[in-house]
Amino acid sequence: GRILQCGAGSGSDGNWWTAREIVKAGGLGPLVWSQGGAFRNDPGGDWNWGIQPCKPGVDLDWDLWLGHKFGLAPKRPYDPERYSRFRKYWDYSGGLATDLLYHVYAHLAIALDHALPYRVTANGGQPVHNLKNDNREVPTLFTMQADYPDQSTCLMVGTQEYEDGIPDMVRGQKAVLTPGGPGLVIRPQRPFLAEMLEMANTLECFKGAELRTHKDGDKTVLDEILVKPRYSYDHMGNWLECIRSRRQPTMNAELAYKVMVPIGLSVLAYRQSKTVYFDPVRETVVDRNPLG
Direct distance between the N- and C-terminal alpha carbons of the chain, in angstroms, rounded to an integer: 39
pLDDT of 1 higher than 90 = no
**Gyration radius of the chain over CA positions:** 22
> How high does pLDDT run on average in the chain?
97
pLDDT of 40 higher than 80 = yes
pLDDT one-digit tens code per residue, 54-77: 999 999 999 999 999 999 999 999
Residue 115 has a pLDDT of 84
> Which residues have a Cβ under 8 Å from the Cβ of 39 and sit 6 or more positions away?
157, 158, 159, 162, 163, 164, 165
How many CA atoms lie within 13 Å of 5's alpha carbon, on the beta-carbon side? 21
Q: Specify the pTM.
A: 0.95
Angle subtended at Cα 166 by Cα 269 and Cα 5, rounded to the nearest 5 degrees: 65
Residue 15 has a pLDDT of 96
Residue 25 has a pLDDT of 98
Taking the C-alpha atoms of residue 166 and residue 156, their distance in angstroms, rounded to an integer, is 9
- Domains detected in the chain: 9-42+91-286 (3.30.360.10), 50-84 (no CATH)
**Residue 114 banded pLDDT, cuts 50, 70, 90:** confident
Residue 242 has a pLDDT of 98
pLDDT of 128 higher than 80 = yes
Read off the pLDDT of each residue in 265-271 and give the average, rounded to a whole number. 99
Residue 229 has a pLDDT of 87
pLDDT one-digit tens code per residue, 147-199: 999 999 999 999 999 999 999 999 999 999 999 989 999 999 999 999 999 99
